[in-house]
Amino acid sequence: MKHVAFVAIAALGVAPLFAGVRIQSENTDLATKKVTTDQILLDTNRIRVESDDGKSVLFLTDGGRNRLVMLDKARNTYQEIDEETMKQLGQQMAGMSAQMEAAMKNMTPEQRAMMEKMMKGKMPQAAAPAPKTVYTAKGSGSVNGFSCTKYEGDLSGQKESEVCAALPAQLKLTPGDLQIFEKMRQFSSDLLSALANSPMRASVPKGYGFESGYEGFPIQKVDFENGQATRRGELKSITRVSFTDADFSLGNAKKVELPIPGAPKGKQR
């Protein structure tokens, strides 16, 4: 009985394990030849992207609350955006624009011109729709032993990227292994829409793969500027592993509230 009791108590102290995948990749600055590495941990409900610069991006869906977390290990701080914050940001930006338009409606042309000059660059402006990259299939390829389909990305008439994308089966994964990527991509897309007229838009992490325009996960991507290749990222390994909650923990990092435009001090979320 004592032995059984000991085993039962010990079992309670073991952290639960979750089946997941570790994806390791390498990035090369083609001008300086500097190489950095990324590591992506993912399971059914979570993603954690670790970079050499000491910063991490996490996408968490536990408790039915989707949220994007930016963790700075050096400062031991993090910022968080959930769907409620996203809605609040969108409302604040729309409200600021509406207030300014109402205030300027009854001004004389001279007063309006003066106000526009004063506020230039300080108020959100209507953003033009961002041009989309168009991908064209260019045959089959192989990267570090993984088969893939080559694509060439064209943006506004200029070559922007070369991509080799693999389907889950080619990576020995199931579609379910990568479903969390689609959830993160959709969340990031909704967030960018909510911040369309905000300077915060540029700081939103992208979806880490599964861009619209090609099918599969990008196991190699080469970025171009003015016709010259500038950066290459490629998959190095994919491993099935078991995670615990600690692998997706923020530790004792302190939360730093996002600067929501128009929100009173002390009421930032």
What are 119-136's pLDDT values in tens digits?
655 544 545 556 788 999
Q: What are phi and psi of 112, to 5 degrees?
A: -65, -45
Mean pLDDT value across residues 50-68: 88
Query: What are the distances in angstroms from CA 124 to CA 11, 101, 112, 116, 197?
Result: 56, 12, 17, 12, 5
Residue 26 has pLDDT above 70, yes or no: yes
- Residue 187, pLDDT score: 84
**Domain boundaries, given as residue ranges, for the chain:** 15-102+120-255
**Amino acid occupying residue 28:** T
Which regions of the chain does DSSP assign to beta strands (E)?
18-29, 35-42, 46-51, 55-60, 67-72, 77-82, 134-143, 146-155, 158-166, 217-225, 228-243, 254-255
**Interval 164-193: pLDDT, tens:** 999 999 999 988 888 888 888 888 777 767
Q: What is this structure's pTM?
A: 0.71
The 8-class DSSP code of residue 180 comes to H
Asked if residue 154 lies in contact with residue 163, where contact means CB atoms within 8 angstroms, the answer is: no
Asked if residue 151 lies in contact with residue 163, where contact means CB atoms within 8 angstroms, the answer is: yes
Tokens 């004063």, located at residue:
118
Cα torsion at 136, 222, 129, 71 (round to 10°)? 140
- Residue 4, pLDDT score: 45
Residue 27 has pLDDT above 80, yes or no: yes
Of the pLDDT bands very low, low, confident and very high (cuts 50, 70, 90), residue 86 is confident
- Of 99 and 263, the structure prediction assigns the larger pLDDT to 99
**Interval 221-267: pLDDT, tens:** 999 999 999 999 999 999 999 999 999 999 999 999 876 555 444 45
**Sheet of 55-60, strands arranged across:** 134-143, 146-155, 158-166, 217-225, 228-243, 18-29, 35-42, 46-51, 55-60, 67-72, 77-82, 254-255
Q: Which CATH superfamily is domain 15-102+120-255 in?
A: Lipoprotein localisation LolA/LolB/LppX (2.50.20.10)
- Residue 6, pLDDT score: 40
- Residue 229, pLDDT score: 97
In 10 A of CB 207, how many CB atoms?
Answer: 20
Supply 198's token pair: 């905000």
- Residue 219, pLDDT score: 94
Of the pLDDT bands very low, low, confident and very high (cuts 50, 70, 90), residue 39 is very high
Mean pLDDT value across residues 46-55: 90
